[in-house]
Amino acid sequence: MILSFQVVAPSLRTNASKRILWHLNKLEDDQLRSQYLEHFSHLTKDLMPTNIPSFDNRSSAATYIEQFNRILCQAIYQSLYLVCGRHTRRADNFQQQFWTRELQNIFDLKEYYYRKWWKAQGINCLKYWPLHQGTKARLRRMIQQEGEKPGKISVIK
């Protein structure tokens, strides 16, 4: 008895798109929801074939499923964009402005001293623990200073 199989590696996406956020709370309005459903129905009216295709091989079935998925997602996205509009992400912008390269360097140094203290034995523990605590306090002060700058949200109270 021989067992054989063929492994097909999934194709890697070269450019991963950013996650899209929508103003879905607008769909609570009955008029906007009916407008969304009407637009979505219009885009998907030809999605279901009148005759069921026969799939003689896996590649034709996979192609059909991928095409069906692409058209369905496109209909959802277009309908949401038309009715709800996109939601802009302010959190990413805030995080990029808040977490500077200097903060990252101090954080990395704090982690480095912690790992050194954790692995140290005997009297060497006394060497790295104050260094870890000092960089931890310095990081905390820097975060407070960043949060207290004009136009920034205070992070630590």
CA 53 to centroid of chain Cα atoms: 36
Q: In terms of C-beta distances under 8 Å and separation of at least 24 residues, what long-range contacts does 65-69 make, across chains too?
A: none
Q: Domain limits of the chain?
A: 21-87, 98-147
Q: With helix as H, strand as E and coil as C, how does 113-141 read?
A: HHHHHHHCCCCHHHHHHHHHHHHHHHHHH
Which residue spans within 36-150 are E strands per DSSP?
A: 86-87
Q: Which pLDDT tens digits describe the chain residue by residue (157 residues)?
A: 676 656 665 554 555 556 677 778 888 889 988 998 999 998 888 877 766 667 777 887 888 888 889 989 899 889 888 888 876 655 555 556 677 888 899 999 999 999 999 999 988 889 999 999 999 999 999 988 877 766 555 444 4
86 DSSP β-pair partners: 22
Closest CA to 80 of 30, 127, 35: 35
